[in-house]
């Protein structure tokens, strides 16, 4: 389960159902998208229970829940996991592996970026400028207003997945110059 604001600034909770099928295979399916008035643990708790019950699923059969590590989710006394464990002792909390991976990748990227000197950043931009000049000369790209900007690498946010598109897009644009700079460092 995860929650986020949509474009209209309404809080939405996405529920993914993970289960073992009759053949013993683990299945994972998008289950529902539920509007919630706020992201307090009590609101999320009642929304999850209501949603599962509305699909005639028995909440007592819940064996695990996975979500991020924010205090409203994993808080030991008032978090969502505490509310579930109080009523359903077999429903264990598991910190979502996608969120863990996300936090690890962001930390590694931040470490690399903060270690990048101005000299390296200047070298990266000079390499990109040389690439643009070469592509213009060969006719592979055209000139135009706002075209062929040098740019820089953008960093992804810690927990907002939407920032990754910008980060990956900048990485793709800067891939060749980045390889050149890394070869020079090597």
What would the DSSP string read from start to end of 70-97? -HHHH-TTTSHHHHHHHH-TT-EEEE-H
**C-alpha distances out from residue 42 to 38, 78, 88, 97, Å:** 9, 8, 15, 24
Distance CA 121, CA 139 (A): 27
In the listed set 95, 124, 147, which residue is the last one of a domain according to the structure?
95
Going by pLDDT thresholds of 50, 70 and 90, the confidence category of residue 53 is: very high
pLDDT tens digits, 87-128: 888 887 777 766 677 677 666 666 555 556 777 778 888 888
In the listed set 76, 95, 114, which residue is the last one of a domain according to the structure?
95
Pair 52, 67 in one domain: yes
Domain count for the chain? 2
Pair 52, 25 in one domain: yes
132 pLDDT above the threshold of 60:
yes
Pair 70, 145 in one domain: no
- Residue 6 three-state SS: coil
In the listed set 95, 122, 154, which residue is the last one of a domain according to the structure?
95
Helices marked H in 116-157: 118-138
How far does the chain reach from its first CA to its final CA, in angstroms? 43
Provide the pLDDT for residue 155.
64
Pair 105, 89 in one domain: no
> What is the span of the domain harbouring residue 43?
2-95
Looking at per-residue pLDDT, the higher value among 66 and 51 belongs to: 51
Pair 33, 108 in one domain: no
Pair 66, 127 in one domain: no
């Amino acid at each position: 389960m995860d929650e986020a604001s949509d474009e209209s600034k309404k809080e939405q909770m996405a529920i993914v159902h993970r289960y073992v099928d009759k053949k013993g295979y683990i299945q994972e399916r998008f289950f529902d998208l539920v509007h919630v008035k706020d992201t307090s643990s009590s609101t999320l708790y009642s929304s999850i229970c209501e949603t599962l019950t509305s699909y005639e699923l028995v909440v007592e059969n819940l064996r695990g829940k996975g979500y991020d590590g924010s205090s409203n989710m994993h808080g030991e006394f008032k978090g969502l996991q505490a509310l579930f464990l109080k009523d359903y002792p077999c429903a264990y909390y598991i910190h979502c592996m996608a969120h863990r991976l996300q936090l690890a990748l962001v930390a590694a990227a931040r470490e690399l970026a903060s270690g990048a000197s101005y000299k390296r950043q200047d070298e990266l931009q000079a390499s990109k400028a040389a690439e643009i000049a070469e592509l213009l000369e060969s006719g592979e790209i055209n000139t135009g207003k706002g075209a062929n900007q040098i740019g820089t690498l953008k960093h992804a946010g810690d927990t907002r997945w939407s920032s990754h598109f910008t980060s990956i897009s900048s990485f793709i644009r800067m891939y060749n110059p980045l390889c050149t700079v890394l070869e020079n460092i090597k």
